[in-house]
Amino acid sequence: MAITTTDLSIIYDEFLTKGLDNLKSLQKETQMEDEQIAAASASIIAAAMRESIGALEVLKRIEILDLQKVTETNKALDIASSTAVRDAQSAQDLLNKQSEKLRIDEQVTLIQKQVDTESKKALDIASSTAVRDAQSAQDLKNKAAQKILIDNQVLKLQKDTAFVDEQRTQLGLSVTYNNKIKSLNSYGNMIGTMGAGGLVISSDMWSAFFNMVKGLNVDVSANPTDTTIIKA
């Protein structure tokens, strides 16, 4: 028999139809998106083409065996036409050729069964590949969404940590300023008490007082040089 493009088309259509039917069932079960359907369809078409070509190679092998069978049959007929003038050994040769023909027929039948088995395996593999591709695409989409969620959580945690650090810094500064203000008040009260008692405040004590004031007020550029107090 001669293998034609029609044979290849039939094999290809069989692979493709089964793969697309499996894809439709998967689409109903998983609610696949258009881009996933397109990717799975492309995979099924490619798998159908590969398996069709493989099946075509097997059919070519069958065609070769068929040609061998015809050749051996012709040889057997030639031998049969000459057995009338040959001896018993020629008759035995004919029987041997007939046995060889039967053996070739058995090989052809076995190969045809192998073709059917491989075709079924190819269809199953094509369907499984389409399912795996669709599942992989969905898994990838889910992981991308999870990564975005985790990144947002990490960003929020970083902002919360920075806010807590800033609060801790401001609290530390507040405690420091409060301590300075308390010290300044105490020092000022002491100077006031000493002045009320008629005591003279030394320049160093005045400098210490103004340094404390300067530490709380950044606008104070320098301490006063004249700290003499004159009674009005």
pLDDT of residue 88: 60
Q: Are 122 and 55 in contact (CB under 8 A)?
A: yes
Q: Output phi, psi for 90, to 5 deg.
A: -65, -40
Q: What confidence tens digit (pLDDT) does each residue in 159-218 have?
A: 999 999 999 999 998 888 888 888 888 888 988 888 788 888 788 888 888 888 887 776
Start-to-end C-alpha separation, the chain: 135
Extract the tokens encoding 183: 């010290």
Q: What is the mean pLDDT of the chain?
A: 75
**Percentage of the chain with pLDDT > 90?**
11
Residue type, 13: D
Q: Are 105 and 65 in contact (CB under 8 A)?
A: no
Q: What confidence tens digit (pLDDT) does each residue in 11-22 have?
A: 667 766 776 677
Q: Report the alpha-carbon distance of residue 3 to residue 9 in Å, rounded.
A: 11
Q: Are 127 and 26 in contact (CB under 8 A)?
A: no
Residue 52 pLDDT class (50, 70, 90 cuts): low
Q: Report the alpha-carbon distance of residue 215 to residue 207 in Å, rounded.
A: 12
Q: What confidence tens digit (pLDDT) does each residue in 101-121 have?
A: 888 888 878 878 787 887 777
pLDDT of residue 109: 83
